[in-house]
Chain A
């Protein structure tokens, strides 16, 4: 059974967003890291890049496969977590503590398209 945190919102493509005012931290869920297996590479965008919601912004990769990352919310990249680039296995250890990017939220209304923990748990079966 994979872990689902209460204090974050989820995309059905298995990314999470932790909202703090008008910024959000974005990562992948425990379900996603488990499905992927040992993460060996994380491909992240650059600070200043802008993406729409549901646009591909990078990938997390195991030895065998690349899994695209989709933006849960539209926004501009404010910060990239260099720690997960240097140590991709951190995503297997704790996918919620180890966020991928921090973004400036463009449209707060988009958060209503995301899932809460209860609804996300239902699709992780």
Chain B
């Protein structure tokens, strides 16, 4: 445990009774009260997460846009300043290096927010792609702390803490402005399927913002446990589950973030080829027809043959249904197909369904 890192909010988590576990090399709260209660707080009221463990990589320079478009599957020529978008970074064979939210800070400056577990790998990979581009790549993760404030009451509460009009910031937009007297990045975004904001500031200032949200507004602190149930219900992928180096974004159902009409990006040839020749696997939703819980790694069967595997599954806290994502052979991917999930020694009957386990509540423009 000697190499385990702590975020700037570690002491706050301990004082709040956080059940601390190791995640991505950090000691993080899995929950404070319990996962289900925190899940419902975000769905019905408001909750907040310390996500300071996330990595931030800054790309600046004359060729910043060209470089970001070279390493990202999404098209950032269409992303204006003060907007952000989701992307993947892919290897030449189409497998995923990571996924990321990319903030366009200025014309020639992009902030790439990446998974904590992949930060070092991502940084090294990104730096290795810079040949021929006039850019500077910096790992600025140690500077920032980050809080995600999520839930239907997020805007009403956070509006009382800032002087700018939050209703003018729509989904996937951000501002860089004063929060409690110091500059912060405030984006309308998140990883829960609810409306809400992600706030990045110099890490000591993040502690001030956290304490203000707790003491003044009694926002429910939420741990990584419900962060995962929330993102799962909203069909948001997690590296190591729905995507990894062996799963490409088209298989994972993330084609919306893969712009094959861009002139060039790393992995484009392999992904275009897969799209033209048919995918080998497809991400589907699965619902068990008996009471049980489908979990990552459980094999999925049809006609006595294994056709795939569960990538994430839960007794969904919002619906109470035993549902999962599964990466399976496309021949069985049609909604309504009967399959089986092997749970311990049992073959549990299940059916292929959509992945809308919860209807997202994003605040988008007209």
A residues within 8 Å of B by Cβ? Answer: 37-38, 40-41, 43, 56, 58-59, 61-64, 66, 68
Given known A-B contacts A41-B292, A41-B293, A43-B292, A63 and B315 have beta carbons under 8 A apart: yes
Q: How far is the CA of A64 from the CA of B31 in the complex (A)?
A: 11
Residues of B contacting A64 in the complex (Cβ-Cβ under 8 angstroms): 30, 35, 225, 228
Tell which of B19, B35, B292 touches A63, judged by Cβ atoms closer than 8 Å: B35
Cross-chain contact B35 with A59 (CB below 8 angstroms): no
User: By CB atoms of chain B within 10 A, which of A41, A58, A63, A64 has the most?
Assistant: A63
Chain A residues within 8 Å of B34, by CB: 37-38, 63
> Are A38 and B291 closer than 8 Å at their CB atoms?
no
Check if B52 is an interface residue, CB within 8 A of chain A. no
Given A37-B31, A38-B35, 19 more pairs with CB closer than 8 A = A37-B34, A38-B34, A38-B36, A41-B291, A43-B343, A43-B344, A56-B345, A59-B344, A61-B315, A62-B35, A63-B35, A63-B36, A63-B225, A63-B315, A63-B317, A64-B35, A64-B228, A66-B295, A68-B344
Residue B76 interfacial (CB < 8 Å): no
Complex Cα spacing A62 to B292, Å: 12
Contacts of A56 in B (CB 8 A): 344-345
A-B contact count (CB 8 A): 39
CA distance A58 to B346 in the complex (A): 10
A62: chain B residues within 8 A (beta carbon): 35
Point out the residues of chain B lying under 8 angstroms from A61, CB to CB. Answer: 293, 315
Q: Does B210 contact A (CB under 8 A)?
A: no
Pair A40/B315 contact, Cβ less than 8 Å: yes
Nearest CB in chain B: distance from A47 CB, A: 16
Convert B276-308 into 0s and 1s, putting 1 for each residue whose CB lies closer than 8 angstroms to a CB of A: 000000000000000111010000000000000
Which B-chain residue is minimally distant from A43 (CB atoms)?
Answer: B292
Contacts of A63 in B (CB 8 A): 34-36, 225, 229, 314-315, 317
In whole Å, how far is B304's beta carbon from the nearest beta carbon of chain A? Answer: 22
Pairs of residues from A and B, 7 with the lowest C-beta to C-beta distance, nearest first = A63-B35, A38-B34, A61-B293, A41-B293, A64-B225, A40-B315, A41-B315
Could you give, for residues 312-337 of chain B, a 1 whenever the CB lies within 8 Å of some chain A CB and a 0 otherwise?
00110100000000000000000000
Cα A68 to Cα B344 in complex, Å, equals: 9
Residues on A with beta carbons closer than 8 Å to the beta carbon of B292: 41, 43
Once bound together, how far apart are the Cα atoms of A124 and B112, in whole Å?
45
Q: In the complex, which residue of chain A has the Cβ closest to the Cβ of B31?
A: A37
Task: Supply 6 A–B pairs (Cβ within 8 Å), ascending by A.
Answer: A37-B34, A37-B35, A41-B293, A41-B315, A43-B292, A43-B343
Give the residue name and chain of the A residue nearest to B36 (CB): A63
Q: Which residues of B contact A41 (CB under 8 A)?
A: 291-293, 315
Instruction: Give complex CA distance A121, B291 in Å.
Output: 34
A59 to B229, CA, bound (A): 20
Quick one: closest A residue to B34, CB to CB? A38
Q: How long is the Cα–Cα vector from A61 to B315 in the complex, in angstroms?
A: 10
Nearest opposing residue in chain B for A58, CB measure: B344
**Distance, CA A64 to CA B36, complexed state (A):** 10
